[in-house]
Amino acid sequence: MHYILFYDVVDDYVARRAQYRSLHLEHVRRAYERGDLVLAGALAEPVDGAVLVFRGSSPEVAEEFAKTDPYVINGVVTAWRVRKWMTVVGEGSTPP
């Protein structure tokens, strides 16, 4: 099962994230190495959010990631939400 974590970010996201970027990327790498995180990245043109795709049996992995992310803790992310994603094609998909 997959879950998508959507981030809404501050208007000056690129500038504001700079001081927390290395901490955030380490947080991302650890989640990826554990096998929880599949893909992650900022939205572009405009840079106004980010999307992270998690694999797991419940949304808790994505929720815990967000709660402990330096971007969230330090106010770079203004809001976040997790959505269940019903994948049907591709590596690791879970077709009905």
**Res 96 pLDDT > 80:** no
Q: What is the mean pLDDT of residues 80-87?
A: 96
pLDDT tens, residue by residue, 54-75: 999 999 999 999 999 999 999 9
CATH number for the domain whose boundaries are 2-85: 3.30.70.1060
Integer angstrom CA distances of residue 16 from 43, 47, 68, 95: 16, 12, 18, 39
Residue 20 contacts residue 83 (beta carbons within 8 Å): no
Domain ranges across the chain: 2-85
Position 34 scores a pLDDT of 97
**Res 92 pLDDT > 90:** no
pLDDT tens, residue by residue, 31-59: 999 999 999 999 999 999 999 999 999 99
Query: Residue 60: which region, alpha, beta or left (left: phi > 0; alpha: psi -120 to 50)?
Result: alpha
Cβ within 8 Å of residue 74, ≥6 positions away: 20
Pick 94 or 71 by higher pLDDT.
71
The Cα 16–Cα 64 span in angstroms is 22
